[in-house]
A = this chain, B = another copy of it.
């Protein structure tokens, strides 16, 4: 144990030292490193997928749920998509050094802000090995060193990815030590990192509720957390029903194991009679279990071949991560807004409506990271939003909210250019 604790300290401190050089590295060098990482991940596909198969087999043997196994799985296509996300990040503007809000004061002082890296980012994550790549490249591009600590389910995959990333990065001129990977998955090591306030500037926990609250409670440095997505789609009285079917279906079915998938479908009573059978037929074909409130059940029960259940109180506000949807009929947009305020996790919420006032009101009043009018909540994603990739999705209001890309990994300093001004 003792030697592991020391190993963590050594790695985190090395990251801190590397971060000082990394902060001034030219955009060219950083981009070259990203292109090289993207190439090398493809070049090393065989080794990476082999390592992933070890994790997957172990997960299957341990009786891991289907959703967890899906999150764990790497395929040639997924690796290709990780690699192209890295290239997207390389093509984005470098946030570091950007000067903004610059103005000239009446006394001639030029005052503005200049974007700087945060320093050392520590990511503590579970399951999805693509996080190893996404977070590494976003940190490097934004001039931050990174300490990676993945979950034990994905040890082999993460290690294989991290090795490729480190080698490609250092060979391209990134300072040695800028990418640290903690191999041991001993929980005590996380506690150790969370006490290193001087060396770690931000911690990003990505994973289940338990991990997130452990990190929030024990970290001595700033934490950006999120990821728990209890997402609602509200079909308004004035919805275009075809759009409403497409959007709700996509939100639930396209990838049910992730945080931005639909959990609860809220339907205005006035259109429930026509809309609910339409969407239920589609969800039924996709084998979605529908947990209905009384009124929804009354409409759907007569219909054939649907997987129906009565909703329980604890299904509201639940993140299913599976082909399950809770369904509730509401009498007004007010009732929908109240339900979302009460049960939502502040992640992604959508309204489907052709009514201008309803749409604007939903946008204004829903207190969530991402609020949608007439689109699927599945778009909540750094890549989809044009950030190239994401280090996570923040459901907090402090520092950064929603998908976090390059800019969210930076701070700024005020710069003041004078020619001798003094304060009167």
Query: What is A's interface to B at a CB cutoff of 8 Å?
Result: 24, 103, 105, 109, 111, 113-114, 116, 118-119, 201-202, 222, 240, 242-243, 246-247, 249-251, 254, 363-376, 378-380, 384-386, 396-399, 401-403, 411-423
Contacts and interface: CB of A to CB of B under 8 A. Distances in A.
B417 A412 contact: no
Contacts of A109: 375, 379
**Taking chain A's interface residues, is the majority helix, strand, or loop, or is none over half, making it mixed?**
mixed
A235 B422 CA distance: 15
A201 B423 contact: no
Give this chain's copy count: 2
A212 to B, nearest CB: 14
A414 B398 contact: no
B417 A374 contact: yes
B222 A374 contact: no
A413 B371 contact: yes
A254 B422 contact: yes
A94 to B, nearest CB: 14
B246 A422 contact: yes
Given A111-B385, A222-B222, A363-B114, A379 B423 contact: yes
A215 to B, nearest CB: 14
A414 B422 contact: no
A367 B413 contact: yes
A66 to B, nearest CB: 20
Contacts of A366: 413
Contact of A105 (B250, B386, B421): B386
A375 B254 contact: no
Contacts of A242: 420
A298 to B, nearest CB: 29
B371 A421 contact: no
A422 B250 contact: yes
Contacts of A413: 366-371, 401-402
Contacts of A372: 415-416, 418
A202 B397 CA distance: 10
Contacts of A363: 114, 415
A119 B398 CA distance: 11
A415 B374 contact: no
A398 B420 CA distance: 31
A174 to B, nearest CB: 19
Closest 3 CB pairs of A and B: A375-B418, A250-B422, A397-B411
Contact of A375 (B367, B378, B396, B422): B422
A249 B325 CA distance: 69
Given A222-B398, A370-B414, A374-B417, 19 more contacts: A103-B386, A105-B384, A105-B385, A105-B386, A109-B375, A111-B385, A113-B402, A119-B397, A201-B397, A242-B420, A246-B422, A250-B423, A368-B413, A370-B413, A370-B416, A379-B421, A380-B414, A384-B423, A398-B411
A401 B101 CA distance: 14
Contacts of A417: 373-375
A202 B415 contact: no
Nearest to A380: B414
Q: A363, A375, A379: which has the most chain B beta carbons within 10 Å?
A: A375
A402 B414 contact: yes
Nearest to A379: B423
Contacts of A420: 240, 242-243, 246-247, 374-375
A253 to B, nearest CB: 10
Contacts of A249: 422
Nearest to A381: B423
Contacts of A378: 422-423
A378 B338 CA distance: 49
Contacts of A371: 413-416
A222 B384 CA distance: 29
Contact of A401 (B364, B369, B396, B411): B411
29 contacts: A24-B365, A105-B384, A105-B386, A109-B375, A111-B386, A114-B363, A116-B397, A118-B397, A118-B398, A222-B396, A222-B398, A222-B399, A246-B422, A250-B423, A367-B413, A371-B414, A373-B417, A373-B418, A374-B419, A374-B421, A375-B418, A375-B420, A375-B421, A375-B422, A378-B422, A378-B423, A379-B416, A384-B423, A403-B414
